[in-house]
Amino acid sequence: MAATEEASTASRSRPESEGEEEEEAMAVLDFDMLCASVAMSAERRKGAAGMTAAACEGLGEGAGGGVQRMWEGDVVIDCLEDRRIALEAACCPCYRFGKNVRRANLGSCFLQAMAYFISLVAVLVSLIAFSVTRHHAYLYMGLGSVILIAIYTGYFRRRIRKQFNILGTDSSLDDCVLHLICPCCTLCQVIQIPLKFKFKLLTS
């Protein structure tokens, strides 16, 4: 009788132990799947962070190679494409120039705008002094200030062109001439590439 009870107890405990082993195996399998999914998501985040860092590095240090871009639109014809930018370039070119430089990560907006503003004030003061005194020295000072502004802004246009791999010559002469002839339209054109590059970076 005792042997029969032990046999029945053993037969009952065997399925229970098998069920517990199956539950433990399922728990281990679920844990392994969880670890694998966490590792895969971490790899995806790591890859996305690497791509973003590479894009930001290309934005800060320049393209260096690859397919060269063209300027977005014509200097004169498409300068009114964005009315807000055109209004800023016409009414306050020093502010627009500072924002262009900051958007391209080439310097401080305030410092570059102040440098542009001081040069404009020098031109204005020289012209007023020439109109009052009729001394040609003030006229030459005004013309020199205008040329200085063209050289300064042309230099940063060339840096932006090199940074975003835009077609052009190695010399800054063309950029300086454009800023000398039509500064407001050139300021409107310069900002288009950094804006479109940043939009593509944010939406990619």
Question: Has residue 202 got a pLDDT over 50?
Answer: no
Mean pLDDT computed over every residue of the chain: 73
Which two tokens mark 88? Answer: 């800023």
Distance CA 181, CA 22 (A): 83
Question: Has residue 131 got a pLDDT over 90?
Answer: yes
Q: Which residue do the tokens 């005194």 mark?
A: 133
Paired with 69 in beta bridges are 166
pLDDT, tens only, 84-102: 888 988 899 999 999 989 9
Which two tokens mark 35? Answer: 């670890």
CA distances from residue 172 to 45, 126, 133 in whole angstroms, order as listed: 41, 26, 35
pLDDT at 66: 55
Please give the average per-residue pLDDT across 172-186, as a whole number. Answer: 87
Q: Under the phi-then-psi rule, with left for phi > 0, alpha for psi from -120 to 50, and beta for the rest, what region is 107?
A: left
Which are the contacts of 204, defined by CB distance < 8 A and separation ≥ 6?
Answer: 55
pLDDT at 196: 63
pLDDT at 85: 87
Residue 183 near residue 146 (C-beta atoms within 8 A): no
Identity at 165, one-letter amino acid code: N
* Number of C-beta neighbours around residue 139 at 10 A: 15
Question: Has residue 47 got a pLDDT over 90?
Answer: no
| Strand, coil or helix: 166 | strand
pLDDT at 28: 46
Higher pLDDT, 155 or 39: 155
Question: Has residue 168 got a pLDDT over 60?
Answer: yes
pLDDT at 155: 92
pTM of full prediction above 0.85: no
